[in-house]
Structure 1
Amino acid sequence: MSNTPAQPMNVPSGAQTATVAAGCFWGVEHMYRKAFANKGLLDARVGYIGGDTNDPGYRAVCSGRTGHAEALQIAYDPNAVSYRALLEFFYKMHDPTTANSQGPDVGSQYRSAIFYHNAEQEKIAKEITEKVNKQWWKGKVVTEVLPAGQWWDAETYHQEYLDKNPSGYECPSHFLRKFPDLVD
């Protein structure tokens, strides 16, 4: 199946986009949809970003040879949820201390990364990463903070996969950890 570069999500004026990679994108999408339903999440879709291959497909990305990460792109209402809150959730829902892996999923496609869309997001992503590295993960965070490049939607059957397949694979490292509030 051929993918095409994604068209912008159909969201209201004033909405913003956040893009994160935290391992297998099925679980990441599922957790964000559950946590932020009716709390600012307007849309979410899984796809590929950060590589050097045009028109990536799932099998090619899973080979680890495309440079792409499995990722989640979120459209959100910044009046209902902040970018900071989305990133704090990101750091609680996966293990950002393992380079190129989450649980049994190994390869650069499963890396931990934040792909920022503007200078303000870059600033916030770096601030939050520094704080969680010091306060929660004790100097072990390997998450990349990178500019968002070309986004490619994953194949249709991957979208909302765990809603359609409730007994489908979910990475065991995807669960919400309990951390104290970050201190400024």
Structure 2
Amino acid sequence: MKDRFMLLLYMASVLILTSVHDVLFLSFFLLSLLLISGRDIFALLKKSFISVIFFNFTISISYIIFCLLKNEEWLSYVVLLNIRVFTLTFLTFLFVSKINIFKAVSFYKTLQYLLTISYSQILTYRRSFEDFSLSLKSRLIQKPDRKDAYTFVSRVFSYFFKKSLENSREISQAMRSRGFFID
């Protein structure tokens, strides 16, 4: 029951965070989340920062350049965007660390089934990525140079992309045969 309540609280928080456009409110909300996180604060901050840095940097720089070319103000929007995205990411990591998501969606069997499929895919991809990383390390005596690292990343990305397409077809067919899609 606690997990269901936390899921509802999480969904309401996401709705609020995406609806409110006040930087002070978002900052206060983030500060509240930081206080709630307790001992996990530094691990959650690190995960959140690593997760959003590329997205936020790319979007922020693009928006700043666009506004500079149009001679428009950009600072308030960039601050709002970055605080909102970081707060939502931190909230999600905090939520996942505090509840059992499978118990939270246990009231709806279809959703629980979809979550199980998604979670098994995540675990499979994580294991595959770890296997790829270990195979790269075992085949090289020294640290890979930039070209080798880029080649590795592009090949792994290609593998995961193809695997995702294959898996989505198979899962879609399996779900259709079990009555998930009523045509």
TM-score by length of 2: 0.23
Larger CA Rg, structure 1 vs 2:
2
Structure with more helix by fraction = 2
TM-score by length of 1: 0.23
